[in-house]
Amino acid sequence: MRLDRLLLAVLVLFPFLALGTPPLFDLDEGAFTASTTEMFLRGDFLSSYLLGEPRHDKPILIYWLQAASVSLLGSSEFTWRLPSALASSLWILATYGFVSRVRDRQAGLAAALIIATAAGLTIITRAATADALLNLFLAGAGYATWLWLREREQRWLYAAWAAMALGFLAKGPIALLIPVGTLFLWCATRRDWRSFRSWALAPGPVLLFLAVALPWFVIQTGNEGPGFLAGFFFKHNLARFDTPMEGHGGNPFYYVPVVLISLLPHTGLLLVALARLKTIWRDELLRFGLLWFLLAFVAFSFSGTKLPHYIYYGYGGLVLILAAQAEHQASRWLLAITGAITFALLLAVPSLLDQALPRLKPDDLLLAQDIGSHFGLGYWLWCAAALVVSLLPLLLRPLTTRFALYGNGLLAGATMAFFLLPIVGQVQQGPVKKAGLLARDLSGPLLLHGINTPSFQTYAGRRVEKRPARTGDLVLTRESRLAELPATEVVFRERSYVLARVK
């Protein structure tokens, strides 16, 4: 019991591991934090702008939370990511509490462990974007809905609609569509339309949703006109399902490898679940989780715009299924195999990156020069030791499935947090961060030319523009685009990024 509590505490704190170590990643983290920075610069905390242009991509909640974090604790990678880490810790804790309540404590720990340590979720739980908030509120809505179905207590109905309202303020209509669609499908499998009507048409909870979710949209529409609603709902929500936006497209099988890779080192549980679909379907809770996941999987597989983290909106349901497989006989050796694959891939990362160098564009080749030097001896020793540990359940029969699950998960999550993310961040974003911090104290307007690195504005703490360069401007660009500018004096140059002043 004491060991379980210690493990839960570790999992709840997992999103905070090395939270402030990697620089902010462009484009997503850079765009969110630069928009919040622009709120301070404009003195306007109702509207979001990015590089001087209205940003109607996302609602307001994440910007408010980031602004509060930075106001209280100062600007740093840790404080920009703090709201996401707190939301992720609550997601982990809520999942443990729910699964422990409807199943048992061991299943609850397994579900919490998957969220805290799966490869893809390790990234999204600490990213300074709106997705950690959305995942928390989707989980809250789904779990509260199930508890209402089971117990018929009004508090769970209010909790579900409150979670959807906050999710709507964090990311938009998807926070409503996933829970509503899941319950609709589940009720359809039982022909229980009375439950769906009672949930969907409950006056008090629906009014609570409207009271929380609508005021900001009404105020923004009054300030910016109907163009705001058209841009938010039609361009940045509905249009994403119709056409690829910003080059993020893919075929209908896009999410198959995403799911397999993002769940590492726990993919073995998914393989067990695939072999037991009939059993899962007969279990009403697991059927609810399966429909939740399949709704997100199918919807985004046929969406015009595809990004890896979209599929995570169904993981609140998927972890219910995976946790239920943790004690199955085949899970032990499948977890050992997928764990070993995980650490073998991590050991191969430096070699794979070196092999990819000849195919890079000149700017990216400069950015990735000497990339192998960033993977020090500690990385190699850690990953090699983790690979040995992952193989032990195959070699030593007394070791349990729990050893394979928890050992692989904690080692993989720590590898991502302490090694891989900081290394990738330093290679990809290190020069942009240095240029931004340098520009903070230099005179002259700041510009971006030929690049889209909004984190430059976050680090500079000053307004950055995109327009033709003029005399006196400080311009951040890449080596290949420098010749496109008028005569310049180079102020900073590092691995393909150049900060230059126009003469």
Beta bridge partners of 499: 476, 492
What pLDDT, in 10s, does the model give residues 465-480?
999 999 999 999 999 9
Mean pLDDT of 386-392: 95
* Residue 52 and residue 208 in contact, taking contact as beta carbons nearer than 8 Å: no
- Count Cβ neighbours within 10 Å for each residue of 122-145 and write b for 16 or more, e otherwise: bbbbbbbbbbbbbbbbbbbbbbbb
* Residue 270 and residue 263 in contact, taking contact as beta carbons nearer than 8 Å: yes
Instruction: Please report which residue ranges of 306-400 form alpha helices under DSSP H.
Output: 315-324, 331-356, 362-367, 377-395
* The pLDDT of residue 358: 82
* Residue 133 and residue 167 in contact, taking contact as beta carbons nearer than 8 Å: yes
The CB-side HSE value for 444 (13 A sphere, CA atoms) comes to 19
What pLDDT, in 10s, does the model give residues 156-204?
999 999 999 999 999 999 999 999 999 999 999 999 999 999 999 999 9
How is residue 233 annotated by DSSP? Answer: I
Please, what is the average pLDDT of the chain?
93
Distance CA 290, CA 281 (A): 8
* Residue 115 and residue 34 in contact, taking contact as beta carbons nearer than 8 Å: no
Distance CA 478, CA 424 (A): 19
CA angle, residues 105, 111, 114, in degrees to nearest 5: 140
Amino acid at 500: A
| Residue 474 φ then ψ, to 5° | -100, 120
Does residue 281 register a pLDDT over 60? Answer: yes
* pLDDT over 90 percentage in the chain: 81
* Residue 254 and residue 194 in contact, taking contact as beta carbons nearer than 8 Å: no
User: pLDDT band for position 241 (50/70/90)?
Assistant: low
* Domain-wise residue ranges, the chain: 2-24+82-324, 333-435, 438-502
Q: Return the C-alpha torsion angle 97, 286, 173, 151, nearest 10.
A: -60
User: pLDDT band for position 235 (50/70/90)?
Assistant: low
What pLDDT, in 10s, does the model give residues 320-330?
999 999 988 78
* The pLDDT of residue 58: 84
- Identify how many contiguous H helices and E strands the chain contains and give both numbers: 24, 7
* The pLDDT of residue 469: 93
How is residue 362 annotated by DSSP? Answer: H
Q: Which residues contact 324 (CB under 8 A, 6 or more apart)?
A: 103, 107, 273, 280, 283, 286
**For 323-332, 431-440, 459-468, 473-482, which range has the lowest pLDDT when averaged over its residues?**
323-332
What pLDDT, in 10s, does the model give residues 333-387?
999 999 999 999 999 999 888 888 888 888 888 888 888 888 989 999 999 999 9
Give all strands (DSSP E) within 91-143, no chain letters: none
Tokens of 156: 């769970």
Mean pLDDT of 289-294: 98
Distance CA 396, CA 428 (A): 41
Which residue reads 């950015």 in tokens? Answer: 367
Distance CA 170, CA 214 (A): 12
